[in-house]
Amino acid sequence: MTLATLAEVLQPALERGYAVGGLVCLGWEDMRAYVAAAEAESAPVILQAGPSCRAHTPLPVLGKMFRHLAEGASVPVVAHLDHGYTAEECQQALDSGFTSLMYDGSRKPLAQNIDETAAIADMAHAAGISCEGEIGFVGYFGGETSAGTDPAEAAKFAAETGVDAMAISVGNVHLQQDQSGGLDEARIRAIQATTDVPLVIHGGSGVPVTQRSALARNTNICKLNIGTELRMAFGAALRDAVAADPARFDRVQILAETHDPVTQAARAVIRAFGAPGTTRA
């Protein structure tokens, strides 16, 4: 069994200069492909259950799915709650076998975000698992505007919450469908100068691959969340499978044809992060 906590995969990444992919899951087909990709690349992987995933499948079921995949995997697999918004949701994830809780208080005033995130971190650590928090606000492409992370606030947040990983806002946005963006490296370095907590980039799909690789190698960014890019690969594979035989109706047969394309897309994502078992991009 290779079920791991977030701290167990991020601390080696911090020490050795690579990053781990936080791959956003929507169902069995993609999470299975992500583990296959991680095994093929000899790299750890973080399976993430975000709000849209949880709206489709209950947390207790997701916990069993993640843990089942981890039990059969040859690489470390983290079962991660992404964007937990309430203490109750975080508690349910903990009770469901998750090994990492991301509490998102980023829309709240700093003091409230610190207090609430610290409580979740205490709850997680008491159970022997990890906690990620967010300081600053990572917005959404075509939606809510980001609020950049202030380095001084990041230092206070890291020190007072006790989180194992800290998500920051440095030009990244969720749901971006191309890689035309880029991150503010000066702000990243200013933040990492204040704390040794591993840093996390949400909205990693919008970050150019060359910058992802460089940041993984040269900064304290140890986790990049990738969702949109992989959902696009899944959607393209699914459309191809349906179009190949319009008379076919068995969804098991159709969905099976998404596995290889999504695995290959996830392998490319993971490889760029430079874990020791992979070939660096």
- Tell me the domain boundaries of the chain: 3-227+262-272
206 pLDDT exceeds 90? no
82 counts as catalytic: yes
279 pLDDT exceeds 70? no
What pLDDT, on a 0 to 100 scale, did the predictor assign at position 142?
A: 65
Q: Show the 3-state SS of the chain.
A: CCEECHHHHHHHHHHHCCCEEEEEECCHHHHHHHHHHHHHHCCCEEEEECHHHHHHCCHHHHHHHHHHHHHCCCCCEEEEEEEECCHHHHHHHHHCCCCEEEECCCCCCHHHHHHHHHHHHHHHHHCCCEEEEEECECCECCCCCCECCCHHHHHHHHHHHCCCEEEECCCCCECCCCCCCCCCHHHHHHHHCCCCCCEEECCHHHCCHHHHHHHHHHCCEEEEEECHHHHHHHHHHHHHHHHHCCCCCCHHHHHHCCHHHHHHHHHHHHHHCCCCCCCCC
163 pLDDT exceeds 80? yes
**Catalytic residue selected from 30, 82, 104, 150:** 82
Q: Select from 3.40.190.10, 3.40.50.20, 3.30.950.10, 3.20.20.70 the CATH code of 3-227+262-272.
A: 3.20.20.70
pTM above 0.85, yes or no: yes
